[in-house]
Amino acid sequence: MKILSIETSCDDTSVALIEGNGDNVTLLKEAHASQIDVHKIYGGIVPEVAARKHTEVMSLLLAEVFEKQNPPDAIAVTAGPGLLTSLLVGVETAKTLSSLTNIPLIRTNHMEGHIYANWIEQEHDIQFPALALIVSGGHTELVLMSSHTTYKKIGETVDDAAGEAFDKVGKFIGLTYPGGPKISKHAEQGNPDTIKLPRPMIDSDNLNFSFSGLKTAAKLYIEKNPDLNIADFSASLEQAIVDVLVSKTLRAIAEHNPKTVVLGGGVAANKKLRATLTEKIDPLPETTFIAPHIPYCMDNAAMIGSAAYFKAQKDGYTDWKDITADPVWELPK
Ligand code: KG4
Ligand code: ZN
């Protein structure tokens, strides 16, 4: 089954053509436009600018991927969560295409896309129950899956997301948006034990996260130490974030006994996080750890196509007339 997928929830415009076969998804074609160069001037994403940029490139990207002679079996689009004006560009494009071609539509959640990035060109078997740790710029969540496309959110951040903490602290030390990848690069040269930063909620008796206190502690440290060593500071911040993410994941494994743990979201590209989860989960006799290939961690349409492929197996189609964008579409608790 071939699916054309569209992702515009934030600042990446992405169109992909994927093919699903059994339990595997392959990327056939992709066209992508990043807006980072525009948003870094403002130090973060400006929603109005993001939507305009999506509009400017959408038809060009679609023309690269859509094959009129060889149309896809379905069209998938991210309908939420995300920035409303950005989502609308993708949703209205998908509706128009579906109404003109009669190709059925699959309304897809951005977070399920991050989870299903793990099924793209994956050489390992993913077995259920599975536990997903999703860590992005807007979300930090633990989601339990009893079978394909069946979700139960069992933990989430009570304030900032992990990626947001990386980006905001990055801004305090003068790094351009997004700070996450830059902090992680600096961290490779630093010692994570030099600066004591808090690990909020690490011992709390639940699966929730909090990163706002860490952000404030990091800000205070920067103000008191203007000549800080950026590598040591980055390594210490990264270690604090990774410690909390890994500790809560291990707690969730102990409570729910998943057969597989999958990782997703932009922060899933972080080497330290991937290495630590591998190191802690690999020795567990009944649980396997899997992370998406790096290109499928950050926002991309292939992951949306992948999720849609598995939704299609359960008849997860929506008539184009009924498709709306939902900026606060959460996975069920
Ligand atoms: O999933 P994503 O592309 O967009 C959202 O849905 O939010 O995630 C973007 C986030 C940003 O906060 C970015 O700083 C973070 O992912 N990120 C990283 C790394 N690469 C991207 N954070 C830490 N280490 C990285 N290597
Ligand atoms: Zn994302």
pLDDT tens-digit readout, 176-206: 999 999 999 999 999 999 999 999 999 999 9
Is the Cβ atom of 145 under 6 angstroms away from ligand 1?
no
**Per-residue model confidence (pLDDT) at position 1:** 98
β-bridge pairing 140-145 and 151-156: antiparallel
Per-chain mean pLDDT for the chain: 97
The closest-lying atom of ligand 1 relative to the alpha carbon of residue 273 is: 24
What proportion of the chain, given as a percentage, has pLDDT over 90? 95
Q: Tell me the average pLDDT across 66-88.
A: 97
CB-based contacts of 268, cutoff 8 Å, min separation 6: 114, 117, 135, 274, 291, 292, 297
Q: Tell me the average pLDDT across 49-74.
A: 96
Model pTM greater than 0.75? yes
Note whether 234 and 187 are within 8 A (CB).
yes
CA distance 308 to 326: 17
**Per-residue model confidence (pLDDT) at position 40:** 85
Instruction: State yes or no: pLDDT of 269 exceeds 90.
Output: yes
**How many whole angstroms from 248 Cα to the centroid of ligand 1?**
19
Counting ligands in written order, the one closest to the CA of 36 is 1
**Per-residue model confidence (pLDDT) at position 115:** 98
The closest-lying atom of ligand 1 relative to the alpha carbon of residue 139 is: 7
Q: Tell me the average pLDDT across 100-125.
A: 97
Q: DSSP 3-state assignment of 89?
A: helix
Is the Cβ atom of 44 under 6 angstroms away from ligand 1?
no
Angstrom CA distances, 171 to 120, 174, 198, 244, 267, stand at 33, 5, 19, 22, 17
Task: Look at the alpha carbons of 162, 164, 170, 175 in this order and tell me if their dihedral is positive or negative.
Answer: positive
CB-based contacts of 70, cutoff 8 Å, min separation 6: none
**How many whole angstroms from 223 Cα to the centroid of ligand 2?**
31
Residue carrying structure tokens 């990091």 = 218
Task: Categorize the per-residue pLDDT at 273 as very low, low, confident or very high, splitting at 50, 70 and 90.
Answer: very high
Q: Tell me the average pLDDT across 115-143.
A: 97
Q: How many CB atoms lie within 10 A of CB 182?
A: 19
What proportion of the chain, given as a percentage, has pLDDT over 70? 100
CA distance 238 to 50: 28
**How many whole angstroms from 17 Cα to the centroid of ligand 2?**
19
**How many whole angstroms from 321 Cα to the centroid of ligand 2?**
26
Q: How many CB atoms lie within 10 A of CB 314?
A: 11
Is the Cβ atom of 200 under 6 angstroms away from ligand 1?
no
